[in-house]
Structure 1
Amino acid sequence: MDVEPNDLLLFARIVESGSFTRAAERVHLPKSTVSRRLALLETTLGERLLQRTTRKLVVTEFGASLYEHARRLADEADAASALAQHRQGEPSGKLRISAPGDFANSGLNEVIARFLERYPAVRLEMDLTPRRVDLVAENFDIAIRMGDLPNDATLSARPITLEQPGLYAAPSYLARRGIPEHPDDLDAHDVLCILSRTGGAVPWVLMRGKLKWERALNARLTANSPDLLARIASRGAGIALSSTLFAQPYMQTGELVRVLPEWDMPTASGWAVFPSRKLMPAKTRAFLEMIESACTEKGHSPHAAVAAFKARAALEDVKT
C-alpha cells in the first residue's frame, strides 16, 4: 500500500483547521478537491479517519493515531517553508494577526504603519477581536493577548507590554456623587466594569500595602473594552476600571481623575502569542521585534511584564 505524502499533509491541515472549508483556504485548493482527496486516502487505508457531522469534524481513533505521523510531516513542511523565508532575509507574504481592538487602535497603530513602510513585501491582515482565537486552526501567525498565558504546548509567547489598571471618574460625577475614601464606598456608586470571557463583571481587586480588597460589584455597565469604559466615564457616567493607556488622554484634559489613588490594582501583562516552530518565518520575527521595540520606547518594558507574571505565579504557589 502506497500512501501519498501530500495526502497525509492535507489530512494534517484538515485536523489542524477543524473544517474542510478552512483547510481548503489554507492550502489554496477547492473544498471539493480537499474532500475528494481525503476520501481517497480513507479508501487507500481502508479506515475512516474523520466522522463528519453537521457541526464539526471528529477524528476517529485510527485517525488520531495517523495524525501523529501526519503532524510530524506538517511540522517539517512548516520548518522548510520558514527556512526558505529565513534564507530570503526580506520578510514577505501575508501576516495574519489577531488583537483586541482597543490595543490595536491605541498601542499598535504606530507599529503597523511603521511595519508596512519598512516591509513592502508583507501584506498585513488584522482581525480585531477580544476573543481568544485558535491560532493553528484559524491560521493566525500572531495573537496579542492580555492577562494570563494560554496553557498550550503548541504555542510560544513573548512579553510585549505591562499595563497598569486603575479607577477613574469625571470630576462632574464625583462632585455629584461624592469621592470614595475606601473601596467599601464603591458599593454606593455607579461602576463601569470589564466584561469577563465567561460573562459578568470581572471582580475588582485593590491593594494597599498588606491590605487586599476584592469584590464583584453590581456594575451599571460591563464591556470588553477598557477604552470604551474610559470614554464613558469621561462623560460622567460613573467610576470605571481602565488602564493608563486609555485613561491618560482624558486625565491630561481634566476629563478624568484617579479614584482611590492610594490603592493599587494588579498589573496586566500583554503577550504576543504564536505557533511553536523550529524556525520562525522572517515576517513573524520582524513584527515581533518591532512591537517589542516600540513598547520598550514607550516605557512598557517586556522584562517588567515577565517579572510581574512570575511574581503573580509565585504568589499563587504560596497560597496553594
Structure 2
Amino acid sequence: MQQKVSKTETLDADLLDLRAFCLVVDLASITAAARAIGETKGSVSRRITRLEQALGVELLRRSPRLVQATEDGLAYRLRVGQALELLEDARAAVQQAREKPSGHLRVTAPFDLGLSLLAPLSAGFAERFPEISLEMLLTEAFLDFDADQIDVALRAAASLPDSSLIAHKLQPLESGLFAAPAYLRKRRPPRRPEDLEAHRLLLAQTTRGRATLSFRSRDGLERAEVRVRAAIAASDYSFCREVALAGAGIALLPEVNVRRDLEAKALVPVLEDHVLESDATLFLVHAGTRFLPPKVRAFRDYLLDAFGARGRREPAA
C-alpha cells in the first residue's frame, strides 16, 4: 500500500526551527533556548518568526521579561514534540540496526557448495550475529531476487550476465580428480589424461553420462582433451564424493568439497601432474542499491572477509 506524504507548508520548516521553538516554549526564554542549541538570540528569534509566517498564526507572546506560548503555540508544541520524538526514535532504530543487524536473511547457494563451504561459515556468522535468522536455500537453480524474496545469492559460474545486481568475486572454483586409496590399489593409477578411459569415472552434471575434460600439464607445455563416459553420473557433487569414498571410482570434484577428505587421506588426488581447465568462479550477489539493509551488509562483509575478497566487486549478476 502506497504511503501518502503530507505536502503542507509545515514540512518546509527546518527541523532546527521546530527544535528551537520547542525549547523556547519549554524554557520560557529565547535566550536560554539559544544557549541550549549554541546559537545567538537573534538567530532563534528569526527561526520562530519563520514558523509563524509559514503557519499564519502567532505562536509566542513576547515581552521584555517573559516569553509565553499562545493557545495555538501550545497546541503546536504538543504535536511538534510528538513528531520530533518519532524522528529521534527512527534515527535511534536505524543506528541500532547498523550497529546490531537483525531480521530474517534469505540466502541461496548451490547445494554442494552450501554443504561443504558455506555450512561452517554460516555457523560462524550465526554466532557473530545472533539477531539475524539465516535461511539457506540450497539449489542449482538461479532463484529470482524479487519473485523468491532473496537477499543474497552465492553463484558458481564462469561469468554472470549484466544486470542491476552487484557481484563480488569470492574465489575461483578449481576442480580435480580424486579417488579412494582402496580403488587405486585395485587398478593402476592413470598417468596421462588418456588413461582415464580405462577407469570407472564418477561425474556430476553430465550430458547423458558423457563429458569432455580439458587438461593442461602443470608446466604448461601440454594440453589434452578427453571424451569420457561416467560409470556413475549424478546431479550433484556430494553424491559423487560419497561414491568415491566407497571406492567405486575416480570422481571429478571441486577441491573445496574434498579438503577434509584429503587431510584425512580418505581420498587422494589423481593425475597430479595435470590441471583440469575450469574458469568457474564463486560469486556473492546482492541488490545494486547504495542503501543495503544492515543484515545484508553484515553477511556480505562477513563472507568477503572470510574469503579475503574485499574490493573484488563488479556490476554484474
* 2:142 partner SS: coil
Q: 2:160 aligns with which of 150, 164, 167?
A: 150
What residue in structure 2 maps to residue 246 of structure 1? 257
TM-score with structure 2 length normalisation? Answer: 0.62
1:134 to 1:174, Cα distance in 2 relative to 1, 3 A: same
1:227 to 1:285, Cα distance in 2 relative to 1, 3 A: same
The question of whether the paired residues in 2 share the 8 Å contact of 1:162 and 1:302 is answered with no
1:130 to 1:85, Cα distance in 2 relative to 1, 3 A: farther
Q: 2:143 aligns with which of 124, 133, 138?
A: 133
Output aligned runs, 1:1-320, within 5 Å.
88-89=97-98, 90-195=100-205, 201-208=210-217, 209-267=220-278, 268-296=280-308
1:86 to 1:241, Cα distance in 2 relative to 1, 3 A: farther
- 1:206-261 Cα shifts (integer Å, max 9, x gaps): 11114222234211222243233222112111111112222232223332221110
Cα distance in structure 1, aligned partners of 2:273 and 2:204: 21
Cα distance in structure 2, aligned partners of 1:292 and 1:169: 32
Q: Which amino acid aligns with 1:261?
A: E
Larger Rg: 2
Shift of 1:153: 1.1
Sequence identity percentage: 31
Shift of 1:101: 2.6
Structure 1: where are the runs of 5+ without partners? 7-83, 307-320
Shift of 1:202: 4.9
Q: Which amino acid aligns with 1:290?
A: Y
Q: Which amino acid aligns with 1:205?
A: S
TM-score with structure 1 length normalisation? Answer: 0.62
Cα distance in structure 2, aligned partners of 1:103 and 1:134: 19
- 1:131-177 Cα shifts (integer Å, max 9, x gaps): 22122221101111112232141221111223321111122222222
The question of whether the paired residues in 1 share the 8 Å contact of 2:106 and 2:134 is answered with yes
The question of whether the paired residues in 2 share the 8 Å contact of 1:195 and 1:201 is answered with no
The question of whether the paired residues in 2 share the 8 Å contact of 1:96 and 1:139 is answered with yes
Q: Which amino acid aligns with 1:111?
A: L
Q: Which amino acid aligns with 2:178?
A: Y
Q: Which amino acid aligns with 1:288?
A: R
RMSD after superposition: 2.8
More strand by share: 2
1:224 to 1:202, Cα distance in 2 relative to 1, 3 A: farther
* 1:136 partner SS: coil
Shift of 1:184: 1.0
Cα distance in structure 2, aligned partners of 1:147 and 1:85: 36
Cα distance in structure 2, aligned partners of 1:212 and 1:203: 13
Cα distance in structure 1, aligned partners of 2:254 and 2:287: 28
- 1:166-203 Cα shifts (integer Å, max 9, x gaps): 1111222222222112111111211111215x775553
The question of whether the paired residues in 1 share the 8 Å contact of 2:211 and 2:229 is answered with no
The question of whether the paired residues in 1 share the 8 Å contact of 2:113 and 2:257 is answered with no
Q: How many residues align?
A: 222
Cα distance in structure 1, aligned partners of 2:147 and 2:225: 37
More helix by share: 1
